[in-house]
Amino acid sequence: MRRILSIVLIMFCFCVVRGQEFRCTVTINPQKLMTTTQPYETTDKKVFDNMRQALEDLVNGRRWTTLDMEPQERIECSMQIILSQRTSATDFSGQITMQLKRPVWGSTYTTGLFNFIEQNNLAFSYNENQSLDFDPNNFTSVLSSVTAYYCYIMLGLYFDSFAPNGGEPFYQMAQQVVQAVDAAQYSGWDSKSARNRYWFMENHTNSAYEGLHNAYYTYHRLGLDMMTKDQAQARAAIIASLETIQQVNQTRNGLLSVQQFVDVKTQEIISIFTPAPAEEKQKVYDIVRAVSPMAAQKMRIFNKK
């Protein structure tokens, strides 16, 4: 952990690299194609196996930063694509789910940072033997751009949780990916929908929501990472981070990134504060209720314990 904190400070230094940043597991689920009548349904799984391998090679094999990370420091994440339609031999559509975890200092526990299901926005072309490349300065393919975009978002969240504004350069790279895609031609990139790629980037690059970065750092580095040393102090930091999230939500109600934070953390917060003093539990419940009434439904159970 200390090593990760130190390498954030030299993020853009040129260095001799020894490994990549991600250890990502990719799953391609074609079951809907197999069970529905479509012009190009197939039982040949080779194209899906190649697609999975190409995505894993892109995420795990490419250098996304100039950081020098050891194999044990690689970032654990997963990507699942559920294919729902195949309109030609090379054209697919479906949904993508991204999950990201972070280790907690002094324990074997890992905490969720990102768990997002992007429904009905993924439409792309893929040739059975195609490898995937990404060029930050030029658009190459939808699948490459979507993958790169989420890699940068995950890097942003991950390093925000270790250092103040540690993820800033990665959100800027995600912004660059968005700007390189023709949003009018490809779905999921414009600002019309409230739950698409544009808004995660916007929320984390808009200075009006700068508190998001502080909340990730305070919750994880000053909160979770300190639980084995001083639980009362760690809980106080987590409450402070939730208060910051509430303030960001007051700036603009219903921000996608705020809702994602609360959705990912609700069960964890319940576990942390169930044994806490009543006044702390009440404060946490009030904050969550103000930010996400749906999440507060789960909190009612915890609040009675």
The structure tokens listed for 295 are 């999440």
Q: Indicate whether this model's pTM tops 0.75.
A: yes
287 contacts 243 by C-beta, under 8 angstroms = yes
Identify the pLDDT of residue 298: 86
93 contacts 73 by C-beta, under 8 angstroms = no
Q: What is the DSSP-derived secondary structure letter of residue 135?
A: B
Whether 17 shows a pLDDT value over 50: the answer reads no
pLDDT in tens, 28-51: 999 988 776 666 666 678 999 999
Identify the pLDDT of residue 121: 84
Q: Is 102 helix (H, G, I), strand (E, B) or coil?
A: strand
The rounded mean pLDDT for the chain is 89
pLDDT in tens, 79-126: 999 999 998 889 999 999 999 999 999 999 999 999 999 987 899 999
- Which residue bears the tokens 């040739």? 127
Q: Give the number of C-alpha atoms closer than 13 A to the C-alpha of residue 228, restricted to the C-beta side.
A: 8
